[in-house]
Amino acid sequence: MVGLKLVSLLAGLSVYLGEGLNYAQLGPFFPTNAEDKHGISATWVGVITAAGNIGTGIGVWLFSSVIRADNQKYFFCMGAFVSSSAQVIFGVIGGWTHQTGANYISLCLTTRLAQIH
C-alpha cells in the first residue's frame, strides 16, 4: 500500500512539474507572437495568460464538490489528459489559424480555460 501511494504521489508531482515547464515556455514566446502576428494588445495577452489560473480556481471549487472518494484516480487521470491536450492545442493554435482579433482571442481563451486541472 505504501508503494502505491508513493507512485501516486510521484505521478502527481510529475504532472505539476510538466505543467510548470509548459507555463515557463509560454512566457517568453506567446506575447511577442500574439502581438506581432495576430495583432493582440498586451492587455489581452495578460487576460489570456491569466485565464488558465482563473479556470483552475473555478475548476478546483467546482470539482471538489463533485468528486467522491471512489473516483479520485479517474478524475486525476482525466484532468491530466484534458489539461495536457489543451496545452498542446494552445501551443499550436497560432500555426493552425491565421486569424486576428476577436477570433484568435476566443480560441486562446477557450483552450486556456480548458486547462482546468
What range does the domain containing 73 cover?
2-113
Give the span between the Cα atoms of 117 and 107, in whole angstroms: 19
Q: Would you mind telling me the total number of residues written for the chain in this entry?
A: 117
| 36 compared with 2, residue with greater pLDDT | 36
Q: Kindly tell me the burial class for residue 103, based on how many C-beta atoms sit within 10 Å of its own C-beta (0-12, 13-18, 19 or more).
A: exposed
pLDDT of residue 117 exceeding 70, the answer is no
For the segment 62-93, what is each residue's pLDDT rounded down to a tens digit? Answer: 777 777 767 777 777 777 777 778 877 887 88
Highest-confidence range of 7-11, 42-46, 52-56, by mean pLDDT? 42-46
How many separate domains does the chain show?
1
